[in-house]
Amino acid sequence: MIVTAIIAILAAVAVPSYATYVRRSHILEAVARLADARARMEEFFQDERTYVDAGGSCGAAPNAPAPSDAFVITCSATAATFTYTATGRAALGMSAFVYSIDEGGARATASVPSGWRRTADCWTIRADGSCV
């Protein structure tokens, strides 16, 4: 009985910490994908002198999300501007998160879950408002 109680107490402490760690790893993956997409778009612009392709879509379209991806990356662009947006997927518990980056490198946090402090002009990665 005592062993069961000790295991229950340890689990009560460990499970929330683990969930926070997993959530933060999903966020870091999303912002890394946004930074990569911006770099690919800048390479496209260097070659073509526009951010849109011949069909009027983003010159460097985001990769299709894998089923295990916690975020979906979308792009909107004109000849002189673009914005990539990472929107959290509900299936993985990330639906409250929305991040973006534009052609000037401006990072933004559009949305975070309740209980989190949002820092709008950077990518908020922790509940206390810490950002990168």
How does pLDDT run across 89-110, given as a tens digit for each residue? 998 889 999 999 999 999 999 9
Least confident span in 28-32, 60-64, 97-101, 122-126: 60-64
From CA 94, how far away is CA 84, in angstroms rounded? 17
Q: Is the pLDDT of residue 47 over 90?
A: yes
**Residue 17 confidence (pLDDT) above 80:** no
pTM: 0.88
Flag whether pLDDT at 5 surpasses 90: no
Indicate the domain borders of the chain.
Answer: 2-111
